[in-house]
Amino acid sequence: MKAYYFDNLPGDQRLPHDSGNPVAADDLGKIGVLYYRIGDLSGVDALAAERGYKNRDEITVSPEKMGDVYEAKVKSFFDEHLHEDEEIRYIRDGAGYFDVRSKDDQWIRVRLEKDDLLILPAGIYHRFTTDETNYIQAMRLFKDEPKWTPLNRCEDLNSNVQRREYVSQFL
């Protein structure tokens, strides 16, 4: 894991866009973003049990796996959005970037690789992209039916329950 402020320069979203201004894991915690490095599935099982997660699946984001829709998928993952559930991702292979909004609404880029696990709280604005290798395999954990419908950023979401809870707890 490596986290830093996004440089906001134009160019391919899959490039690092590293401003050179790092962000510590502790500071991610202050906006509710939790990072763990977990070497084997028993560690994930323990975390899942502790947080009441019963279900999981695996997704591969790559042109090989997704074919013609890959480019469109990667673009849509990169639209700023929130979810009404936590988003837990455990990276099994490859790499990618989750961008999360800081307290002052800047983008913080979090690079994840194999064995990195990230928890994004419900209600945080974020986006995702693959890197230049165009390949990531991730496990997604969920409690029951996943409520991962991406809700794109807009004024109306200011009154969304999960957004309000996130704002009152962390911002």
- Binding site, annotated residues for Fe(2+): 81, 83, 87, 126
* Residue-by-residue DSSP string for 77-125: HTS-EE-SS-EEEEEEEEEEEEEEE-TTS-EEEEEEETTEEEEEPTT--
Evaluate whether 153 touches 82 at the Cβ level (below 8 Å). yes
Amino acid at residue number 103 = K
Among 48, 74, 118, 136, binds ligand KMT (CB under 6 A): 136
Contact 112, 91 (CB under 8 A): yes
Of 31 and 110, the one with the shorter C-beta distance to ligand KMT is: 110
Amino acid identity of 85? D
Q: Does 94 bind ligand KMT (CB under 6 A)?
A: no
**Minimum CB separation from ligand KMT for residue 81, in Å?**
8
Q: Which is nearer to ligand KMT, 15 or 59 (CB)?
A: 59
61 touches ligand KMT by CB under 6 A: yes
| SS3 at position 22 | strand
Is there binding between residue 119 and ligand KMT (CB under 6 A)?
no
Instruction: By CB under 6 A, name the binding residues for ligand KMT.
Output: 59, 61, 77, 87, 89, 96, 128, 136, 138
